[in-house]
């Protein structure tokens, strides 16, 4: 068991439907603790940089446009094996393949508008957290 932190983003399709509380409820029921959270508007530059790893994928431009189409909620989640646990709690990228009870099965509208982001490795989690949060915004308990 190791206590980790991971970055979560509640995406514009979810903020638009006013279901951020329902998403947070699933997160908290899983045992993960929301230790930092802010609702922001991503600029095109920030969204492009955040998803730069996908810049050669055919969906990259659409993804960036989607991510700036409305507010997002960026969050830091903490708990035992938080990175892998949150990937499970989110469910598969494609909601048609997501398991019952996962956030994407419950709420995602499409493979793109799939309601949440979660870091895919501990290394990326640390990078993504420092991309959005200053040390002083993280109060571990």
DSSP 3-state of 129? helix
Residue closer to ligand ADP by CB (options 5, 117) is 117
> Is residue 54 flagged as an active site residue?
no
Decide: is 131 part of the binding site for ligand ADP (CB under 6 A).
no
Nearest to 89 by CA among 123, 61, 117, 124: 117
Region binding ligand ADP by CB under 6 A among candidate stretches 1-9, 30-38, 111-119, 130-138: 111-119
In angstroms, rounded to a whole number, what is the distance separating the alpha carbons of residues 69 and 37? 19
- Tokens (6 digits) for 4: 């980790």
111 binding partner (options ligand ADP, Mg ion, none; Cβ < 5 to 8 Å by kind): ligand ADP
DSSP 3-state of 20? helix
Nearest distance, CB of residue 135 and ligand ADP, angstroms = 25
Query: What are the backbone dihedrals phi and psi of residue 124, each rounded to the nearest 5 degrees, phi first?
Result: -65, -35
CA distances to 18, 32, 67, 80, 132 from 74, in Å: 15, 15, 12, 20, 8
Decide: is 93 part of the binding site for ligand ADP (CB under 6 A).
yes
Decide: is 5 part of the binding site for ligand ADP (CB under 6 A).
no
Determine the size of the site formed for Mg ion (CB under 5 A): 1
x/- contact string, 111-130, with Mg ion (CB under 5 A)? ---------x----------
Residue closer to ligand ADP by CB (options 55, 137) is 55
Residues forming contacts to Mg ion in the complex (CB under 5 A) are 120
């Amino acid at each position: 068991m190791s206590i980790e932190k991971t970055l979560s983003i509640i995406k514009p399709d979810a903020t638009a439907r006013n279901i951020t509380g329902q998403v947070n409820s699933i997160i908290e029921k899983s045992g993960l603790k929301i230790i930092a959270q802010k609702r922001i508007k991503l600029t095109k530059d920030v969204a492009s940089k955040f998803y730069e790893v996908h810049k050669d994928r055919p969906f990259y431009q659409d993804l960036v446009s989607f991510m700036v189409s409305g507010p997002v909620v960026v969050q830091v989640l903490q708990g035992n094996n938080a990175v892998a646990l949150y990937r499970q709690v989110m469910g598969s990228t494609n909601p048609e393949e997501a398991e019952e009870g996962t956030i994407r099965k419950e709420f995602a509208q499409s493979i793109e508008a799939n309601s949440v982001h979660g870091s895919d490795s501990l290394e990326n989690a640390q990078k993504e957290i420092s991309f959005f949060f200053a040390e002083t915004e993280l109060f571990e308990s």
